[in-house]
Amino acid sequence: MTRAERDARGWETLDVLLITGDAYVDHPSFGAAMIGRVLEAEGWRVGVIAQPDWRRIGSIQAMGVPRLFCGVTAGNLDSMLANYTAARHKRKEDAYSESGLPGRRPNHAAIVYAQMCRQVFPAVPVVLGGMEASMRRVAHYDYWEDKLRPSILADAKADLLVYGMGEAAVREVARRLASGRRDLGGIRGTAILLGAKAAAAADWGGCVELPSWEALQQNPKLLVPLTRIVESQQSPYCGQRMYQRHGARAVVLEPPAAPLTAGEFDALYELPFQRRPHPAYRGPVPALATVADSIVVSRGCAGGCTFCGLGFHQGKFLSSRSVESVLREIRALAGCGTFRGTISDLGGPTANLFGCTNGEAAACKVCRRPTCLWPKLCPHFRIDEAAALRLLRGARRVDGVRHVFIQSGIRMDIALRTREYFRELVRHHVTGHLKVAPEHLHPEVLRRMRKPAGDFLPFLDKFRQESLAAGKEQYLVPYFISSFPGCTDKEMEAVGRFLRREHWNLRQVQDFIPLPMTPAAAMYATGLDYETEQPIPVVRHAGERERQKRVLQPRRTTGPAHRQWVDAVDS
């Protein structure tokens, strides 16, 4: 992170300079750390500048000019989400900064950092990555500014954008540049902005054209078909190249990268992460506390929920690590002097999708559906309950491990189909509170979310039965969303009635935030149903949003002693 550290290694120059909007924590849950370790394993000399002062151009010059490229990420979150709440108020804490201090990253950080790199290192290629770049790769709606924006490439002036989990793409970028090849086109999981001459000369045969930036400005309702087209091309097996014109220029999007094999996945998480913040920091980085003793076991999400960016970022096709690799990581963690005996989570996007597979049948190779789980489970989706049980039981047997918990949330529809796993989970792997995400209880709102409509109550009953049989007092932590597109006070009352009947008080609620490029953002921005394109009501004003939140979180009064207090999150 400093010139002194670079010199201590005997490096005269860096090969790659990574600039991140997060504090630098060398843990696999932090994107800059993962990409840095991947490049290091390939033999490249990597430096990291974390949260540079964007008001001072010299803040990114400390380690000199990198030989191959500058990699830029806003951090683990979109910078606007990191900086602002659902009410568009500035956040009082940034969990990804030292001591949780806010204000360490600019708005639209990826753009700002990329422009700084272009100014300071004019001859060095600039490569964007991370969630912010991934979810803004085409023209999109920005909730915090309440306006449409062009592809982030148009503003950032970067040479390349890597979307999704970029380990394979970034290796290829480094290899090409090291060989003297400046052409970065054609790499899976990337996007590039062609100049006017290149766009005019391009052969667009076999490519899918998206509504242009100009057409979108003239007719914002085109955001719905634009999002549907992008979503339909997210398969690494049958997805086609896409392009979107921005004036005389064109953004070209290559098909997604292939999902990792188990061996590739294992290799990533066996890189020599220190699992702690850089020694330069004096205060803690709060985000590390939630993942310090957790283990990532899977990637991808087959759910396709319309409010979530995982399908666009990690993809719907699942990857799982081998049980043996996960147990090796647990043993290594248990041997650390700071470990206190508790694995806080064995998870990923959804913990109980470990071992499940999709994408293997011939029908999967030509499928363009964004979800394998809604409105019902695809017959080609394979559940491997035995692998998940081997993992849980093996983790509990590791010397030095007293508790292994699941806290990253589970799919209720899958849990109801895996009785032995469900029983094992309830008896051994719940802290006392288990996270689940019904999100809503009204069938029309659930349809627009792509969430199952009939699983929550059976799951609740089953959870209570299994907890009683295990002799444990345990509770669910249900996540509900207020102010979702199409949800009025009438639909919100379906959740309110349930909460009153169960005597549940939610300490916090998920106030809907339209994340860039998601179907829910398209519905919010246009006021159209994503599937039918028919008009729907959308709650936009602060008073209306607050009224829906109050259904989930009424003014508290002293209640029965048995009343359950449930924590959730500000989504």
| φ, ψ of residue 494 in degrees (nearest 5) | -60, -35
C-alpha distances (whole Å) from 35 to each of 1, 41, 67, 147 are 15, 10, 17, 32
Q: Spell out the domains of the chain, with CATH numbers in brackets.
A: 3-253 (3.40.50.2300), 293-430 (3.30.750.210), 432-571 (3.30.750.200)
Share of the chain above pLDDT 90, in %: 93
pTM score of the predicted model: 0.95
Q: Per-residue pLDDT for 565 more than 80?
A: no
Q: Among residues 464, 463, 332, 337, which one has the least CA distance to residue 410?
A: 463
Q: Per-residue pLDDT for 218 more than 70?
A: yes
pLDDT for res 29: 95
Average pLDDT over residues 202-220: 97
Average pLDDT over residues 74-96: 97
Q: Per-residue pLDDT for 569 more than 50?
A: no
Q: How many DSSP H helices and E strands does the chain contain?
A: 23, 22
Instruction: Give just the sign of the alpha carbon dihedral 426, 427, 428, 430.
Output: positive
pLDDT for res 563: 36
CA dihedral 118, 121, 127, 128 (to 10 degrees): -50
Q: Per-residue pLDDT for 128 more than 90?
A: yes
Average pLDDT over residues 265-278: 96
| Residue 338: band (very low, low, confident or very high) from pLDDT cuts 50, 70, 90 | confident
Q: Which residues of 307-316 are buried (b: 16+ CB within 10 A; e: fewer)?
A: bbbbbbbbbb
For 373-422, what is each residue's pLDDT tens digit?
Answer: 999 999 999 999 999 999 999 999 999 999 999 998 899 999 999 999 99
**What gap in Å lies between CA 393 and CA 505, rounded to an integer?**
34
Question: In 379-513, at which residue ranges do the beta strands (DSSP E only) sit?
Answer: 403-404, 433-439, 475-482, 504-506, 510-511
**What gap in Å lies between CA 270 and CA 41, rounded to an integer?**
11
The whole-chain average pLDDT of the chain stands at: 94
Q: Per-residue pLDDT for 562 more than 80?
A: no
> Under 8 Å CB-to-CB from 154, ≥6 apart: which residues?
193, 213, 246, 249, 251
> Under 8 Å CB-to-CB from 219, ≥6 apart: which residues?
none
For 35-56, what is each residue's pLDDT tens digit?
Answer: 999 999 999 999 999 999 999 9
CB 298 within 8 A of CB 319: yes
pLDDT for res 570: 36
pLDDT for res 560: 40
pLDDT for res 555: 66
Question: In 9-84, where does DSSP find H-type helix?
Answer: 31-41, 79-83
pLDDT for res 409: 84
CB 177 within 8 A of CB 125: yes
Token pair for 285:
């980085």
pLDDT for res 556: 53
**What gap in Å lies between CA 109 and CA 51, rounded to an integer?**
9
CB 416 within 8 A of CB 459: yes
